[in-house]
Amino acid sequence: MFFAALFVLLCSSVAHLLHKNRKISFAINLLALAILIISSLVLFSGGTAQQVFGFFEIYQFSTFFMVVAASLLALMGILAYGFNNYDSFATLIGFIALGIFAVVSANSFITIILGIELLAVPTSFMIFSKEEHTAEAAVKFFIMSSAAIAMIAFGVAMIYPYSPFLSLTGWFGTGMQQSYTVLLSFVLILCGLSFEAALLPFNLWIADVYQGSSKQMPSMLSGINMMIAFAAIIEIMVLSFGAASALISRVLVLVSAVTMLFGNLVALKQKNVKRILIYSSLAQAGYIAVGLASSPSFGIDATIFYMVAYAFTAVGAFAIVSYLEEKGRNTLSDYSGLSSGSLFLSAALTIFMLSMAGIPPLIGFVGKYVVFTGASSSALILLVAFAVINSFISIYYYGKIILEMFSNKRKVIRITVPPSIVLVVCACLLVVILLGIYPQPLLSASYSAAKALSSMAMVP
């Protein structure tokens, strides 16, 4: 059932080029994604691990991310359909799903590289649309992706003398922990994945890409692409460089600190609401990296939880902002009195931003709590204190948007919200609120995924 659903998505992508019938493609893709979610849940609950075709490992880590990614892809499809921008999505969704699967179930560096390419190249084409400004965003993303793959390949090439088969596990021998070659290899691979994960200093074009991309793409880039890039970093950290975690942690502490500081400080100076959220997403990448900097025993499950929490929050927030941008509302002043035009959009965006700020009882608060607790257990007290300060900084620019939306400076003509936007926003709100109040199911699933990954690292 699992591979049948992936095959149907691929066939549907090819078939859409021929018939161009959006309704048929939309129905088939949603059905295939539903089957993929159900089959992944069954495999996850079974807890078994098996190798497929010699290239993929199906275990709880991979099936966990397939459940989340397939759910987000379904929301992306609904958004694209609602924004009347479904053709490119329907044509490329099968390749994106295959790329996601290749990354999260990889057992070699080659599989990860192929997976990242299968995710990045279709994304470049999806960013482009008939609108002129999308061409620049697509070109910048393609250049970033090309440079990223080159860096990853260079880093992997340095591992080749130790592992001719380029396996993720079993090559890191004793005495290599302090090897500068190994450290340089990890840094190059991290730099390559930092383009998608939005980590400084390789995120400087991210704002332009998000700003210039077609309507549903900011939600996809901040929700799916960022999450899968971090999943790849986690896999490589635990499976390949776990023995050098102390050395790697120092690198990630620096990356985390400068990323969150850069994102928050630049967001403070923005007047465009979408760019505020874009730079906020860079800060969120820094918070996720706090979990990565923790030792695997403390940080991986918390990091996975926060990645999922932010993915659904970002999808909902950017869906609202992109729709309002379509209606000509871009700057803070354009959001003035928005609650009188649409209380639903104003309230939903407020909840998403409060979650990103880490206000209880929303999922963002739980995510930050478990990540910061894990980092504290790893003796990263200064990094946690720095992250908490940055969280307080973010409250300022989130607060500015909220105050503008609920101000009485002017009355806004009533805004009609399409059903597709309502459905996506409501689905994300359910995740943000319900799993904030009762996070145990996701916490348990994240722990199981992290434990399965750690067990895979022990397999000779």
What's the token pair of residue 360? 């209880």
CA angle 13, 16, 20 (to 5 degrees): 155
**pTM attached to this predicted model:** 0.93
Cα 203 to chain centroid, rounded: 14
Is residue 456 within 8 A of residue 56, CB to CB? The reply is no
Report which of 87, 55, 331, 45 is spatially closest to residue 211, judged by C-alpha positions: 331
Contacts of 158 (CB under 8 A, 6+ apart): 181, 184, 185, 188
Alpha-helical regions (H) of 198-295? 206-212, 217-220, 226-235, 245-268, 273-293
Rg value, the chain, Cα: 21
What is residue 174's predicted lDDT score, i.e. its pLDDT?
A: 45
What is residue 417's predicted lDDT score, i.e. its pLDDT?
A: 86
Specify the amino acid at residue 394: S
Would you mind telling me the total number of residues written for the chain in this entry? 460
Contacts of 391 (CB under 8 A, 6+ apart): 287, 357, 358, 368
Using CA atoms, how far apart are residues 381 and 192, in angstroms rounded to an integer?
28
Average pLDDT, the chain: 84
Contacts of 88 (CB under 8 A, 6+ apart): 80, 125, 126, 128, 129, 214
Is residue 33 within 8 A of residue 9, CB to CB? The reply is yes
Using CA atoms, how far apart are residues 57 and 234, in angstroms rounded to an integer?
15
Is residue 314 within 8 A of residue 219, CB to CB? The reply is yes
CB atoms near residue 415 (< 10 Å): 17
Report which of 334, 347, 205, 315 is spatially closest to residue 271, judged by C-alpha positions: 334
pLDDT tens for residues 377-410? 877 899 999 999 999 999 999 999 999 888 877 7
Is residue 299 within 8 A of residue 446, CB to CB? The reply is no
What is residue 315's predicted lDDT score, i.e. its pLDDT?
A: 93
What's the token pair of residue 399? 């607060």
Using CA atoms, how far apart are residues 450 and 447, in angstroms rounded to an integer?
5
What's the token pair of residue 266? 């630049």
Give, as one character, the DSSP assignment of residue 377. Answer: H
What is residue 170's predicted lDDT score, i.e. its pLDDT?
A: 63
Using CA atoms, how far apart are residues 219 and 240, in angstroms rounded to an integer?
31
Is residue 77 within 8 A of residue 29, CB to CB? The reply is yes
Specify the amino acid at residue 93: I
End-to-end CA distance of the chain: 30
Cα 88 to chain centroid, rounded: 20
What is residue 57's predicted lDDT score, i.e. its pLDDT?
A: 85
Question: 451: exposed, middle or buried (C-beta count within 10 Å: 0-12, 13-18, 19+)?
Answer: middle
pLDDT tens for residues 119-153? 888 888 888 776 667 788 888 888 888 888 888 88
What is residue 14's predicted lDDT score, i.e. its pLDDT?
A: 72
Report which of 293, 217, 297 is spatially closest to residue 260, judged by C-alpha positions: 293
What pLDDT tens digit does each residue of the chain (460 aa) get? 766 777 677 777 777 766 677 788 888 888 888 888 998 898 888 877 787 777 788 889 999 999 999 999 999 989 888 777 777 888 888 889 889 999 998 888 888 988 998 888 888 888 877 666 778 888 888 888 888 888 888 888 888 777 777 777 766 554 455 567 777 888 888 888 888 888 877 777 788 888 878 777 888 888 898 999 999 998 888 887 765 667 778 888 898 999 999 999 999 988 888 999 999 999 999 999 898 888 665 678 899 999 999 999 999 999 999 898 888 888 888 888 888 888 899 999 999 999 999 898 999 999 999 999 888 887 789 999 999 999 999 999 999 999 988 887 777 678 888 898 999 999 999 999 999 999 999 999 999 998 888 877 665 4
Using CA atoms, how far apart are residues 82 and 323, in angstroms rounded to an integer?
10
Using CA atoms, how far apart are residues 149 and 401, in angstroms rounded to an integer?
37
Specify the amino acid at residue 244: A
Beta bridge pairs of residue 306: none
What is residue 227's predicted lDDT score, i.e. its pLDDT?
A: 92
CB atoms near residue 139 (< 10 Å): 15
Using CA atoms, how far apart are residues 183 and 363, in angstroms rounded to an integer?
34
Report which of 331, 312, 308 is spatially closest to residue 321, judged by C-alpha positions: 331
Is residue 311 within 8 A of residue 73, CB to CB? The reply is no
